[in-house]
Amino acid sequence: MIASAANSSSEFNNSKLIPLFSAEQIQNRIQEMGAEITRDYAGREPLLVGVLKGACVFISDLMRAIDLPLAVDFMAISSYGSQMRTSGEVRIIKDLDTPVEGRDILVVEDIVDTGLTLSYLLASLHARGARSVKLAALLDKWERRERPVQIDYLGFKIPDAFVVGYGLDYAERYRNLPYIAVLKED
């Protein structure tokens, strides 16, 4: 039902979704990540920073798997480039509402690909005087890395393929799929 809804427009009739991680696999992994974050941040009150729009679904589930007082804020970043890859030029479209000075920041990202977006973002949060800056990413497309990025909490490593679902889009579509799939044009 969801796959057909995602493919209903003629514009997308030639693409195929190949399931990679089921909703259940994702939920199980996020519970483990949340437990680990809960242990690591015990006694502190982290500020979770979700990177819009891709991380919106992941951060919603991850925050509920963390048993600590915490705050949530969002940033939106635009990286110039095509739909399927980033150029490395990064611009902040929506900044945080919360001051980061002295805070323990946990950046929450959907996927780390080249690492260009994240290396820019993490450096900028450090420069603003955060007490600590760590990264939780659901997916790591590690083969394509151009800048080193330390992922402190990782969901899954994935091969070099374009994935959609669970917040990840292609031309704004597929974010609502409850699972993650490889999008293949044929």
- Phi/psi for 65 (5° steps) reads -95, 0
- The verdict on whether 152 is a catalytic residue reads no
Least separation in angstroms between CB 152 and Mg ion: 16
Distance CA 27, CA 40 (A): 20
Q: Please choose, out of 18-26, 63-71, 98-106, 160-168, the segment that lies near ligand 5GP by the rule CB under 6 A.
A: 160-168
Catalytic residue among 61, 104, 110, 113: 113
Determine contact, residues 122/136, Cβ cutoff 8 Å: no
Determine contact, residues 6/12, Cβ cutoff 8 Å: yes
| Partner from Mg ion, ligand 5GP, none binding residue 177, C-beta < 5-8 Å depending on class | none
Q: Is 117 in the site for ligand 5GP (CB under 6 A)?
A: yes
Pick 73 or 169: Cβ nearer Mg ion = 169
Distance CA 55, CA 138 (A): 9
Q: Which strands form 71-79's sheet, in the order they lie side by side?
A: 90-94, 71-79, 47-52, 104-112, 132-140, 153-157
Pick 19 or 40: Cβ nearer ligand 5GP = 19
**Considering only residues 34, 46, 50, 54, which one is a binding residue for Mg ion as defined by CB under 5 A?**
54
| Site residues, ligand 5GP (CB under 6 A) | 54, 79, 86, 109-118, 141, 162-164, 168-170
| Catalytic positions, written as ranges | 113
